Structure 1
Amino acid sequence: MNSLESFKRRPIARREFLALGGAAALLPLLAACTGGGSNASTSTGGGDGSKGPITFWDGVGPGQFNAESKTVTEAYAPKKGLPKASYQVITTPNTYEGLQAAIAAGNGPAVSGGYAFQAFQFANEGAIAYADTLVANLKKAGIYDDYPASAWAPFKTSKGYVAAPWGFDIRVPWVNQALLNKAGVDALPTDWDSWLAAAKSLAKIGVYGFGTAASASSAYGGHAMVSLMINNGGGLYDENGKPDATYSRNVEAMDFVRELHAAGAIDPGSVSYTDQNLYDSFKNRKTAIGFTNATLPALTSLPKGELVMPDPIKGPHGDVGTLQYLKNYMMYTHTTSQAGSEAFMQYWLQAFIGANGLFAKGDTGALPIRKSVIALPQYQSDPNTKKVLEQWEPIAKGYSARGTTLFASLAAADNGTAVQQFAQTMLEGKTDSKTALATLQKGLLAVSS
């Protein structure tokens, strides 16, 4: 699914899950449907395809991603006895709720794209078909070794693998070198002190040094705050996965945001900015430094080389790091054939690699995790992308930092309002860090299992 779309909407509490079944028929859920998907019966057998295809649902992606995906899906030629596959685009305004409603009604897909932590929540609801057999098949076919071991480990639970990773979405600070030069700043920021100094110089020429977006439709604001926490050795959760927003390192990170605000580095309009507003702010040279995704240059029309990637920036204690999400696909117990789902998933994961794969076409909206894709010339020849892959990705951490495991509560926190409202509070600069973080802590505890 679209990497940005995945963090925008309110999660559905468990007590609401079953009630959604009656609402599913009211949702304008799918576009480009082919027959046999929504009424397919559940089966864990091998299947002969007579009950309909493996229904593959995905969210609205960037560029030609959905068109390419549909073509690849329809080209799938399964082994004898296994069903073909159909491709369907989820078009509800809230993709997360659309999937939840369909699954609750028993009309969900066999395979789907998904938000970073969605599989853990759906597994708790009994809706996920674990991917252990798929992993075994990937190992047998020699495909598993194309992944770093770290890509699969976060999806392993006590019951099995809940999803299959395919790429990553990372938050990195971009810098407009031309604007820095215009402001009389000689070098890219290397730590928070030099970042703040650069922001002050940029403010003198009417340019912002901490760009982000925190409207109800954008998650960049929350991502920026969490990225700074991780950059200071902090994070929203402790080592055991318990909410710990008020951790001292988080307080220090938010004090830095308040310093940036006091320096005039934050656009007052950023609290209501959409993703596109942020991209336009970079494009129109109103913003010179800011956290966004790793493909920002492609989303602006600035001359090549104007936007540059700094080396990892150090926090006040020497820490480095930023926020990262592992993008994934998952299988569901609702399928015409579990063996068919596994076979299609293996085929689909292979569609991303090679000179003609989906990553090579540049439409995924993410960066690759597979070694063969990273080795492609387009990733090795671009200095910014190469720096992200070689310097930023190895130090990036997930939403659960300071821990290393993922869990269902992250889905509710990531798709909820607490983090987004917290980001707005910090960007407005009216509340001290400890008070704002205490309010966030209450919000995290409210959605924790």
Structure 2
Amino acid sequence: MGPGSSPLGRPVSRRSLLLGSLASAGAATFGFSACSPQVPGTSGAAPAGGTMTFWDMVWGSGAAYTASAKQAVSAYAPSGDSLGVTYQSVPWSNWYQTFTSAAASRTTPAVSSGAAFLPFSFIEQGVVAPADDLVKLLDTNKTNDFLPGILDQMKTSQGYAAVPWSLDLRVLWTRTSLLEKAGADVPTDWDSFIATGTKLAKIGVTGLALAAGSTTTDAQHTVSALMINNGGGMFAPDGTPDCVTDRNIETMDFLRECVAKGIIDPNAASYTSDNLTGDWVKGRVGMGWAQTGLDKTLPEADQSDVEVASPIAGPHGDKGTVYYINPLMMFTTTPSQASSEAFLAWYLDQIHTFWTEGVTTDLPVKQSIAQLPVIQQNKNLVRSIDEWQPIGKTIGAQAPAAFASLNAVDGGAASAGFVQQIVAGKTDSRALLETLQAGLEKVTK
């Protein structure tokens, strides 16, 4: 989840908050700290009345999403010996401390949503229960209809770390009127992207929108998307940092060319997510990688002027992008594992309402939701699902699935400094990657 909008107002930016949360936690390995703040009034123990707790982050449209999710959970009627569920909204601010503190004191809830790589850290610590039996239950219920490759990304040596419920995907958006004004075409590869970006720069329009300030992770996501687009990435298949590769050097060369030709705004080094949204709204941006809900951040009259392009090819013909799978976890502190599984199996059958009500801007991960009219009537969502989702990967792109140390890297200081150096344009490509390599090795030890 990240910046987006709905008719009910501009939401909280989850990805913007990740950087501050992880930085305050030291952006180090996922250790437990019993002195970190907690969400009051929540516990993994079953309260009186035979219920268990569901922690849910503030996704999508913020308050509108939370109201919809709370209403959905209130309708849960457990069968047999299954326990009922109490809904608890959890803010993204200090999320890292909230979860690590709860894990240290064994006051985690029964089930929870959370940051993309959190369950991979927790399953290694024995804090979350494998979701294998839940997946079997979905198979039995014939509701295991996740989009291709999504569930596989949750697999670890200990079992499924979680199940997915939505997808934060980065796609290339273009602004039709500005490309027409510049006499430029929608790019199909990196060379034509440079050509289009150069034409946009000549009319004073940003060709590659970035926000690389200290309070947002936007630029980090775009750079990760481009590395993956060129068959590269920050990690080797075994999960160790592997930044200084020929493919990654090519990606840095491409970005440095964008800087040199004025395709990237030099002010991007200090941009917040609000600055970037403002540039899109004011018509100062012609192209950029962003979330699938970008159009909803624009005035209604301008929403049809932005369009998701088809994936572009890298120098060797590769196509790819970065995504973040939003998980649902089951904690070992649950008063009843069977009840946790029964609830989440039911909950996954209710979440379609988040899209029909327009309270989320992420993509669905279930085929049944992707086929809903509200999705199929939106050409940008259809292209995102059909063309971009199948080529998406996590920031651990070369590995067969996500892994624990990604939680310490996601939004961490090493990546933040790296993208700011890119925008500055004063460091050669290999040196940029060597600095990133050293930073990642430090936080993933």
- Provide the secondary structure at the position in 2 that maps to 1:88: strand
Is 1:10 aligned with 2:26? no
Shift of 1:15: 7.2
Question: Would you say the 8 A contact 2:2–2:291 is kept in 1?
Answer: no
Q: 2:233 aligns with which of 216, 232, 235?
A: 235
For residue 418 of structure 1, what is the aligned residue in structure 2? 414
Question: Would you say the 8 A contact 2:57–2:92 is kept in 1?
Answer: no
Question: Would you say the 8 A contact 1:227–1:323 is kept in 2?
Answer: yes
Q: Name the aligned partner's letter for residue 82 of structure 1.
A: S
Indicate how the Cα distance of structure 1 residues 79 and 2 shifts in structure 2: closer, same or farther if over 3 A, else same: farther
For residue 220 of structure 2, what is the aligned residue in structure 1? 222
1:392-444 superposed Cα distances (whole Å, 9 cap, x missing partner): 11112221112222110111111421112111111111211111110100111
Question: Would you say the 8 A contact 1:210–1:287 is kept in 2?
Answer: yes
Shift of 1:120: 0.8
Question: Would you say the 8 A contact 1:222–1:419 is kept in 2?
Answer: yes
Question: Would you say the 8 A contact 2:44–2:333 is kept in 1?
Answer: no
What TM-score results when the alignment is normalised by the length of structure 1?
0.90
Is 1:199 aligned with 2:197? yes
For residue 156 of structure 1, what is the aligned residue in structure 2? 155
For residue 35 of structure 2, what is the aligned residue in structure 1? 22
2:361 and 2:97 mapped to 1: Cα distance? 22
2:342 and 2:44 mapped to 1: Cα distance? 21
For residue 171 of structure 1, what is the aligned residue in structure 2? 170
Question: Would you say the 8 A contact 2:123–2:158 is kept in 1?
Answer: no
Q: 1:300 aligns with which of 298, 301, 308?
A: 298
1:273-292 → structure 2 map (5 Å cutoff): 273-292=271-290
Q: 1:403 aligns with which of 399, 418, 442?
A: 399
Q: Name the aligned partner's letter for residue 31 of structure 2.
A: F
For residue 43 of structure 2, what is the aligned residue in structure 1? 38
Shift of 1:92: 5.7
Q: Name the aligned partner's letter for residue 78 of structure 2.
A: P
Shift of 1:244: 0.8
- Provide the secondary structure at the position in 1 that maps to 2:89: strand
Q: For structure 2, list consecutive stretches of 5 or more residues without a partner in the other structure.
A: 4-12
Indicate how the Cα distance of structure 1 residues 303 and 71 shifts in structure 2: closer, same or farther if over 3 A, else same: same
For residue 442 of structure 2, what is the aligned residue in structure 1? 446
Shift of 1:51: 6.6
Shift of 1:50: 4.7
1:423 and 1:100 mapped to 2: Cα distance? 28
For residue 364 of structure 2, what is the aligned residue in structure 1? 368
Shift of 1:81: 2.5
1:292 and 1:300 mapped to 2: Cα distance? 13
Q: 2:427 aligns with which of 412, 421, 431?
A: 431
For residue 347 of structure 1, what is the aligned residue in structure 2? 346
For residue 45 of structure 1, what is the aligned residue in structure 2? none
1:361 and 1:377 mapped to 2: Cα distance? 12
Question: Would you say the 8 A contact 1:321–1:392 is kept in 2?
Answer: yes
- Provide the secondary structure at the position in 1 that maps to 2:138: helix
Q: Name the aligned partner's letter for residue 128 of structure 1.
A: V
Shift of 1:365: 2.7
Indicate how the Cα distance of structure 1 residues 442 and 388 shifts in structure 2: closer, same or farther if over 3 A, else same: same
2:414 and 2:303 mapped to 1: Cα distance? 37
Shift of 1:52: 4.6
User: RMSD of aligned C-alpha atoms?
Assistant: 2.0
Q: Name the aligned partner's letter for residue 65 of structure 1.
A: Y
For residue 46 of structure 1, what is the aligned residue in structure 2? none
- Provide the secondary structure at the position in 2 that maps to 1:313: coil
Q: For structure 1, list consecutive stretches of 5 or more residues without a partner in the other structure.
A: 42-48
Aligned residues: 428
2:133 and 2:199 mapped to 1: Cα distance? 56
Deviates more, 1:221-230 or 1:317-326: 317-326
Question: Would you say the 8 A contact 1:129–1:332 is kept in 2?
Answer: yes
1:118-133 → structure 2 map (5 Å cutoff): 118-133=118-133
Indicate how the Cα distance of structure 1 residues 91 and 169 shifts in structure 2: closer, same or farther if over 3 A, else same: closer
For residue 72 of structure 1, what is the aligned residue in structure 2? 72
- Provide the secondary structure at the position in 2 that maps to 1:358: helix
1:305-347 superposed Cα distances (whole Å, 9 cap, x missing partner): 2101222111111111111122211010112221211111111
What TM-score results when the alignment is normalised by the length of structure 2?
0.91
Q: Name the aligned partner's letter for residue 437 of structure 1.
A: L
Identity of aligned residues (%): 38
1:14 and 1:270 mapped to 2: Cα distance? 26
Q: Name the aligned partner's letter for residue 189 of structure 1.
A: P
Question: Would you say the 8 A contact 1:51–1:336 is kept in 2?
Answer: no
Question: Would you say the 8 A contact 1:131–1:162 is kept in 2?
Answer: yes
Deviates more, 1:49-58 or 1:415-424: 49-58
Shift of 1:230: 0.9
For residue 141 of structure 2, what is the aligned residue in structure 1? 141
Shift of 1:117: 1.1
Indicate how the Cα distance of structure 1 residues 341 and 152 shifts in structure 2: closer, same or farther if over 3 A, else same: same
